[in-house]
Structure 1
């Protein structure tokens, strides 16, 4: 079987982005552009090595991609051909097919890459160019074909003649090469052009002059080839990706009320018959079950949410939420929380690093932090676990069946025994035995006639 390799060009600083963030790390639908590219390549069969060419911000790119790729450094940005040459030490002696693709093309799909590779293999070409038809080809390299429709050469926009500028078939910057033919031709690329750079498309003309077969595959979806060079293109890519993701979920049985105002990560998984209302943002590796209702205006990040749960006007991050749970409006589930089945977390309730047992409720205006809440517990309005003494945080343990009255303060570390009752307004500083009533508040005193005396 023919070996396959991939080289991702990700060394450019991206000055037109006018950003401190390295260009290919700008996110599209919550994921860096270059990671979108790597993830699509990883879906292909038998890609034995992915090499990312890095330059500015190299350490941050490696931090994001980790072991998904190997890396080579292009210390000076001298053009795309020069960038690919940096991979010679890893790939130069290999036999097989090498895909070369830009790290700022987040919309490219595995299916299009696969079609390009198939065209390359079918035509027995030494190089195959991914092309597209552009209504406005300004700024793109033009693909020039001969009278037989075969690729003759690719000319950059700045180097094109008036006649060549009328061509609307553009070079997308994605190629397949015979690996050894690629690295042999790269040695003959020069920088005699308007930019003084070593252009990778010059390899096409070199191969043609050597009598080699050069092929092209024209994708029918120009949007996939969008290269992101500035904030305007970044917004375009975000909009296209957002709608693509939403349509895929809708095809799989998810109801999205407003496709234009729902933002879902490309890695999110959502079950059938779940309804997503407008203004909802679902980030990261979130998993949402079937028959859920999310939104409107909810933010979910890296959560696992089971079936038939509703989350309205609320925020939840890095937590596990069971089935038949009702959260919101205006609740906040902070990281490391575990909300079991049939729990209610109501309006203006904040939960942090806490577990809620099945059937428990905190219906309004509570803070529950660093707590273990058992089953069938009722936390009254304004109940608070006082978990922080200014230096350390402590655990509050509330066992099954406990009723906590309104405006009660549970000062950790403290354990409330099962089936106990905490009177409203109490500040509990000591453990409460099971089946007990605990009252910790000042006795009420009425001063009759106090107002008249004060006036006099």
Structure 2
């Protein structure tokens, strides 16, 4: 774990939405990505960055989300999904006695890393800002909020793509929806945010504009890796994310001496441990907390879940393993 931050820092993760474009009854943040819910990757990155106090804003099927994720987190229920700004202000009631920094992240960004989160917090605290936003320069820009600056380069506001003028749409600096706020500056704004937009919602972007109008310092930190910023908004997004993450996992094992003759034809989850000189043949399905020793041969057409496989084992075609396999075992 990285070094603890100088100011007390908590995380608020936005996880209340249904995710309409997923076209699923399952809450978006519970959709599985290599065996774990999307939000797991965000909470793990936050904790690995040194922030252990996490508040999850939940709404759609709130009980299912709580039952799925357990009691490791604080839960704040947003019974009406009235926007991201409203979500943060729901947390403000529970956090009214908290003085420190509030990391605000979306729950559907599984490729956020501890380093990126730590950099956001560190810059925020070093500069003494009221708000630090993570932004990205993307040309041509996607349909995200644009960062509007004055002639001196200071942040003025964020304008949503649907509300932007043609000139503003040409701005290539976009909002990533990841922030760090000073609680002492942002929580007093509760009740001052308006919903004067077509959606009648309260936006985090409006909080940013309120801060700038009241001369509070708002700064940005750029992130240039588009994969890190990728959110999941559709089943197609989820499919491409599964492919990317699985490739990352397989590349990690290959760099440590594991052979995958046909890597595209293997399913493997993130917590798997495999020893050197092991061969994983196609159509192997390896999941859970599985460990595989050195110099093994696995598959093809093998299912392994939560198993401990020793060294020099040969797990043959169509085997199903969910227990301990001692050294030199053949199936």
Cα contact 1:159–1:193 (8 A) shared by 2: no
Cα contact 1:186–1:203 (8 A) shared by 2: no
Q: Give the whole-Å Cα distance in 2 for the aligned partners of 1:238 and 1:169.
A: 28
1:164 is aligned to: 168
Quote how far apart the aligned CAs of 1:158 are: 1.3
Runs of 4+ in 1 over 4 A off after TM superposition: none
User: CA offsets per residue over residues 110-158 of structure 1, 9 Å max, x none?
Assistant: 1211121122122221111112233453331122233444332211111
- Decide which of 27, 32, 40 is 2:37's aligned counterpart: 32
Q: Give the whole-Å Cα distance in 2 for the aligned partners of 1:294 and 1:265.
A: 15
Say whether 1:8 aligns with 2:13: yes
Quote how far apart the aligned CAs of 1:61 are: 1.3
Cα contact 1:242–1:263 (8 A) shared by 2: yes
More strand by share: 1
Say whether 1:67 aligns with 2:71: yes
1:270 is aligned to: 274
Cα contact 1:38–1:68 (8 A) shared by 2: no
TM-score when scaled to structure 1? 0.68
1:19 is aligned to: 24
Q: Give the whole-Å Cα distance in 1 for the aligned partners of 2:266 and 2:152.
A: 47
Cα contact 1:9–1:101 (8 A) shared by 2: yes
1:199 is aligned to: 203
Q: Give the whole-Å Cα distance in 2 for the aligned partners of 1:147 and 1:293.
A: 63
CA 1:270 to 1:151, structure 2 compared with 1: closer, same or farther past 3 Å? farther
CA 1:121 to 1:257, structure 2 compared with 1: closer, same or farther past 3 Å? farther
Question: Any unmatched runs of 5+ in structure 2?
Answer: 1-5
Q: Which has the higher contact order (CA 8 A, sep 6+)?
A: 2
Q: Give the whole-Å Cα distance in 1 for the aligned partners of 2:208 and 2:272.
A: 40
Question: Any unmatched runs of 5+ in structure 1?
Answer: 328-456
Cα contact 1:270–1:287 (8 A) shared by 2: yes
Aligned residues: 326
Quote how far apart the aligned CAs of 1:18 are: 1.2
SS of 1:257's equivalent in the other structure is coil
User: CA offsets per residue over residues 201-227 of structure 1, 9 Å max, x none?
Assistant: 111111111212212121121111111
Higher alpha-carbon Rg = 1
TM-score when scaled to structure 2? 0.92
SS of 2:102's equivalent in the other structure is strand
